[in-house]
Amino acid sequence: MPYIEKSRREKLRVHVDAMAKEISEIVDLRNRIFTASTAVANIALVMTSNPNPHMKEIVKELSSRKDDILGDLNFCISRLLVIATQIHKEPKYGKFVCIESILESTISYIKFFYGEDKIFALATLKCVGRELYRRYGIPYENIKMKINGDITD
């Protein structure tokens, strides 16, 4: 779950939000998805060759953790995707598809290049997808079902 201690959140939020803003300003959708996928992979793997100073700070902060960092990973990835897509302000089906494609492509990338030994990174990515759908997808689907009717109507 992306609910980490406030002190940890404050250290990460500045850089995650700056990175998300940069991603959200990319006009070309394919390039935006690729950039977001790369950022998510860097966070999930806690490593980067990305020259972006915000990404370097995120990885540095995550690397400084001595204990369990999975909650921090979830927070960073969830926040990056929410802020970059603005799904919390304007839920749209296309945004859910965009987030899902970013998570799935990142999972495929990690499996291909790093194998199943990165099981915790892979599981965290799946948890992010489930949590974001629970928080934003289900309420959106319920509203649309009331407006347009159920598929069985």
Which residues, at least 6 apart from 24, have a Cβ–Cβ distance to it below 8 Å? 32, 83, 84, 85, 86
Whole-prediction pTM value?
0.89
Please state, in angstroms and rounded to a whole number, the distance separating the CA atoms of residues 64 and 31. 31
Q: pLDDT (tens digit, 0 to 9) for every residue of the chain, 153 residues total? A: 568 888 888 889 999 999 999 999 998 888 888 889 989 998 988 887 777 888 889 988 888 887 778 889 999 999 999 999 998 898 888 888 889 999 999 999 888 888 777 888 889 999 999 999 999 999 999 999 999 999 998
Q: Which amino acid is at 119?
A: I
Q: Domain segments of the chain: what residues? A: 6-148
Q: Among positive and negative, which fits the CA dihedral 61, 101, 34, 86? A: negative
